[in-house]
Amino acid sequence: MFGEMELRERCVVVTGGAHGIGRALAERFAAEGAHVVVADVNAQRAERIAARIEGLPVVCDVGDPEQISGLVEQAVGAYGPVDVFCSNAGIGDRGPGLASTREQIDEITRVNLLSHLWAAQEVVPSMVERGGGYLVQTISSASLITGPSGMGYTVTKHGALGFAEWMALNYAHLGITVTCLCPNAVNTGMMGRNEDDESASDERDDPVRATIGDIVEPELCADMTLEAMREGRVLVLPHPRVGEAFLRKAGDYDRWLEGTNRRLRRLRGSSDGPSHGGDRPVPGQRSASPLRYSAVSSSSRASSSGPSGCPTASTESASCSGRLAPTMGAVTAGLASTQATAKVARDIPASRATLRRPSTVANSRSCQ
């Protein structure tokens, strides 16, 4: 665990750092005195955020391991060895479920899952040699409770959490601290926020978005992430319902599957046939559409990480995800930590982080 001053002068890399949760993380680390590398596929926004926090902008597509290697090389050249690597960039499904092409499945797997592994390969050996380091993984509630998210998003988020657990199990004693941010809905580009107008959010009526439940601000996610890092907790749950739903799922898995199947069919207005989850992709669009609440992991490569995994209009509808990923102890600890969410929110100016009920959606933009 590190103290308040130990981030000063440290090298921090944030992928998808120009938008949403990534932007909030970059700004939060900079406020702690760290040297922050803002990596994003959107060069203009990366430069804007980096200038604001006196950091280093780097154009990087995390779906390419060579670009991740180049990113780390630039970070080390500018600020020294990487102390904190935030794998935050991500994308939504590119195709409709099982009908997705191999290329579409490959793209989301590389960005949402393999990029975490490639980043660890680049930075962990040096961290171990120096006595420790931090891996921050922006994943999603979709890694714990499968909901309306697309097939690719759900599979890759489960995989990302599995990789994070593997890292924690095999490297904790070597000084590597793993932190997993698993929010549901976050007010980012994945939810329709206009990331180029940071002073306002678009308010339009959207009956689907209205079923999601509470939407939190990226700044709250960032603050809770740093708090978890200091306390040595792996799981960060900005939405308490996610942990509660996961515990219910573990208690009676078959009953949870049956109930969630019924709720998803009602949500989509159909009773027969398979549900692909999420929207069908819009040609040329590099981000999740409003129906794909996935994130907190993530957003498009060009942008930042994403928001969520399933709607939580009710406690039950929050229960959405497949395989038992984290340990029950970790979930319980993460859930307990969310009791501090209200306190954290009170400490953040209303303009920065609030829990709110959605009534609208903006145009679906590229990143989270």
Domain that holds residue 53: 4-347
Q: Is 74 within the bounds of a domain?
A: yes
Find out whether 288 and 112 touch, Cβ atoms under 8 Å: no
Q: Is 211 within the bounds of a domain?
A: yes
pLDDT digits (tens, 9 = 90+) for 69-82: 999 999 999 999 99
Sign of CA dihedral 5, 305, 51, 348: negative
**Ranges 86-90, 254-258, 339-343: which has the least confidence:** 339-343
Could you say which of 79, 153, 171, 293 is catalytic?
A: 153
Q: Does 289 have pLDDT greater than 80?
A: no
Integer Cα distance of 302 and 324 in angstroms: 31
Q: Is 316 within the bounds of a domain?
A: yes
Q: What percent of the chain has pLDDT over 90?
A: 61
> Locate tokens 């590229």: which residue?
366
**Ranges 172-181, 224-233, 290-299: which has the least confidence:** 290-299
Please tell me the predicted confidence (pLDDT) of residue 306. 39
pLDDT band at 209 (very low <50, low <70, confident <90, very high): low
Q: Does 360 have pLDDT greater than 80?
A: no
Q: Does 330 have pLDDT greater than 60?
A: no
CATH number at residue 21: 3.40.50.720
Q: Does 317 have pLDDT greater than 50?
A: no
pLDDT band at 206 (very low <50, low <70, confident <90, very high): low
Q: What angle do CA 114, 88, 339 make, to 5 degrees?
A: 120
Q: Which residue has the higher pLDDT, 36 or 202?
A: 36
Q: Is 362 within the bounds of a domain?
A: no
Q: How is the beta sheet containing 82-87 ordered, strand by strand?
A: 56-59, 35-40, 11-15, 82-87, 133-138, 176-181, 235-236
- Total tally of structural domains belonging to the chain: 1
Structure tokens at 35: 């040297």
Q: Is 191 within the bounds of a domain?
A: yes
Distance in Å from the first CA to the final CA of the chain? 29
Q: Which residue has the higher pLDDT, 304 or 238?
A: 238
Please tell me the predicted confidence (pLDDT) of residue 336. 53
Q: Is 367 within the bounds of a domain?
A: no
Most confident of 262-266, 305-309, 349-353, 360-364: 262-266
Q: Examine the residue annotation and report whether 153 is marked as an active-site residue of this protein.
A: yes
Q: Which residue has the higher pLDDT, 16 or 297?
A: 16
**Ranges 42-51, 170-179, 203-212, 319-328: which has the least confidence:** 319-328
Closest among 57, 238, 245 to 145, alpha carbons compared: 245
Return the SS3 of 273. Answer: coil
Please tell me the predicted confidence (pLDDT) of residue 107. 97
pLDDT band at 97 (very low <50, low <70, confident <90, very high): very high
Please tell me the predicted confidence (pLDDT) of residue 212. 62
pTM: 0.76
pLDDT digits (tens, 9 = 90+) for 119-151: 999 999 999 999 999 999 999 999 999 988 899
Q: Which residue has the higher pLDDT, 315 or 6?
A: 6
Please tell me the predicted confidence (pLDDT) of residue 367. 40
- The mean of the pLDDT values for the chain is 78
Closest among 307, 5, 297 to 139, alpha carbons compared: 297
Q: What percent of the chain has pLDDT over 70?
A: 66
**Ranges 23-32, 34-43, 196-205, 277-286: which has the least confidence:** 277-286
Q: Is 358 within the bounds of a domain?
A: no
Q: Is 353 within the bounds of a domain?
A: no
